[in-house]
Amino acid sequence: MKLKILSILLTLTILLVFSGCVGNYYEYSQHSQEIKDYGNGVYYFPVAGDNFGWWLSRFVKDNNAEIISISAYCQGNYGVTTGYFVIVKEKP
């Protein structure tokens, strides 16, 4: 009986982990066209919070880029970040 319960819990955990990974990739592919390219290696990422790190990592990998600088873009109340400006250069 205990083995059956552990098997069910393990299966649910694995499903939750994989569904999170698929969700992030789908979100990136769906919204990556919203990353605004200002030219000369300056980009604006319209995402904040926990997903920004994932988006940035994926962008760096896909574009063979090296990060030079990151700056938060805030609107309204102090501390409400709505996106990030990122300056990158191509890796040698």
Q: How many domains does one find in the chain?
A: 1
Helices 51-63 & 2-31 angle (0-180, nearest 10): 60
CA dihedral 37, 38, 41, 46 (to 10 degrees): -50
pTM score over 0.85:
no
Q: What is the pLDDT of residues 68-82, one digit of tens each?
A: 999 988 877 676 788
Decide which of 33 and 61 is more confident.
61
CATH label of the domain that carries residue 57: 3.30.70
Instruction: Specify the DSSP element, H or E, that contains 91.
Output: none
Q: What is the pLDDT of residue 28?
A: 47
Tokens standing for 81? 């970040």
Instruction: Name the residue with tokens 């649910």.
Output: 12
Determine the structural domain holding residue 23 and report its residue range: 2-90
